[in-house]
Structure 1
Amino acid sequence: MKNFDKGTVVRTVLLLIALVNQTLIMFGKTVLPISEDQVNTLADALYLAGSTVFTIATSLVAWYKNNYVTDKGKLQKEVLQQKGLTK
């Protein structure tokens, strides 16, 4: 198994949690064991909004960190290509 840096592992785990949570919401399931009687419409909307923001944020961070979009990243890609370390 390859050694992954801590940031990659954290971003991957958070992204997986966000995607699983969003999928559960799409199918009408909640991660927290809260009955329908305990939750009002505003709380449902806040939970959905918060979950969506979490999914979008973790997706963007994972995309940004794992792609060569910054000037430093572009230089890194250039060096990797010169050394024959990219596909």
Structure 2
Amino acid sequence: MNVKSIEKISAGTVARFVLLLVALVNSGLTMTGHSPIPVDETGVQEFISLAFMGATALLAYWKDNDVTKKARTKDN
């Protein structure tokens, strides 16, 4: 087997593996009764609100929203 024919592992593959490892450690700690990520109800509510706002902002940015009269008449 030629060493040059072996491709390098991509950064995305390494990142996904590290995230999987963190998720497994988090699950293991949660199963043993430890709280690796202390979260209260207020924190969850704020996170959901922020995620919703971020998602809608990205959607509004991604879509072609014609606001000016010139832009609206261009598509027709």
TM-score where L is the length of structure 1: 0.37
Which structure exhibits the higher relative contact order, with contacts defined as CA atoms closer than 8 Å and separated by 6 or more residues? 1
**What TM-score do the two structures reach when normalised by structure 2?**
0.42
